[in-house]
Amino acid sequence: MSNHLEELPTLGVGASLSLSSQPDPVSLVRAKGGPSFVEYSGLVDVDEVIDEVEKIRAAGAPVLFHPSYINFCGSYPNSNAWLEATSKHIESVGSSWFAQDVAYCFWEEGPGYSTQLGYFIPLIFNQHSLELAVERVKEVQAKVAVPVAIEPPPVAFIIGSMPLFSFFGSLSNQTNCAILLDMGHLVSYEMASGRSVLAAIDELPVERVIEVHIAGGRLKEGDAGSIYVDAHECEIVEQTWQMLETMLPRLPNVKAVCYECEGVNESSVLATLKRIRKIVREKSNCDALVASLDNSE
């Protein structure tokens, strides 16, 4: 593994929250069994969020910035203004790394949040798409001072035949970047493609996986089987829990496990964090991550 990833701090089990709505991040951080870090998907301009972020940090939790406006794939490059604002944001809040889904957040020459497309447009899984993704990731790395982590996005359908872990393994190796794996997104890929992600696990540089996400979702029954819909306000589906138990033992260098729980009430968040910690303790082979649990229980 690249040294720059080994040196990253272990953040433990945390939560991804909205700064402006319930559950209140500061209240959660102060609660017994609360998150040991807070991830947020904020606005690009740090001055819009810095007051809220400072309150979280003052309560004792480090933060990770995880936005949804970077194109980590496709033909449309990121704007310099947005990348410079991102760099300033990351530096100001002290985010140890910078992760985001590899998907289209904007189309053509219209930088902006993925909400302008409804939500992310999925990437294309082929060689040409991979080459462009390498360009996009390097474009971000050139501006951002901390390690970049790439995340497979949620998908309802798949275009292209390159397996998920082949694509992300190669992208990570070619750009020397870290990886974030969202368990629900992996479930979504399996349902959309009919393939097991584990079929290509050998092509994933597992030592580069520094963060794991787990979040609520919904299963819709389609003509060809279940379709996974990412829905953080919902409960975590059983397949996602199983994916966490399957993947954790294979990931030796996880620094953070994040429960994405925007819109979930505080008591449910705390109960879920407890369950996640139990699974981490039982399944993770990452000593530093397991040791970090002692400080938060």
Residues that bind other proteins (CB under 8 A): 43-45, 48, 74-75, 79, 81-82, 84-85, 106-113, 115-119, 121-122, 124-126, 128-129, 132, 156-161, 192-193, 220, 222-224, 227, 229
**Phi, psi angles (nearest 5°) of residue 137:** -65, -45
| Residue 60 or 110 with smaller CB distance to other proteins | 110
Q: Where are the alpha helices (DSSP H) in the chain?
A: 3-6, 25-30, 50-58, 80-93, 127-141, 164-175, 183-193, 238-247, 266-283, 287-292
Nearer to other proteins, 7 or 118 (CB): 118
Q: How far is the CB of 43 from other proteins (least distance, A)?
A: 7
Closest to other proteins by CB, 31 or 156: 156
Q: Which is nearer to other proteins, 155 or 293 (CB)?
A: 155
Q: Is 59 exposed, middle or buried (0-12, 13-18, 19+ CB in 10 A)?
A: middle
Shortest Å distance, C-beta 130 to other proteins = 10
Min dist CB 138 to other proteins, Å, is 18
Cα separations in angstroms, 90 against 86, 253, 266: 6, 22, 27
| Residue 62 · residue 71 · CB < 8 Å | no
Least gap, CB of 159 to other proteins (angstroms): 5
Cα dist from 17 to 27, 29, 95, 187, 214, whole Å = 12, 11, 15, 22, 13
Whose CA is closest to 208, among 184, 186, 237, 177? 177
As measured in angstroms, the least distance from the Cβ of 108 to other proteins is: 8
- State how far the Cα of 115 lies from the Cα of 278, in Å rounded to an integer: 35
Which C-beta is closer to other proteins: that of 51 or that of 118?
118
CB of 78 to other proteins, least distance (A): 11
Nearer to other proteins, 119 or 241 (CB): 119
Calculated CA dihedral for residues 217, 221, 222, 227, nearest 10 degrees: 20
Q: Are 276 and 33 in contact (CB under 8 A)?
A: no
> To the nearest whole angstrom, how small is the minimum distance from the Cβ of residue 109 to other proteins?
7
Amino acid 109 reads: E
H helix or E strand, kind and range, residue 111: none
Q: Which is nearer to other proteins, 79 or 246 (CB)?
A: 79
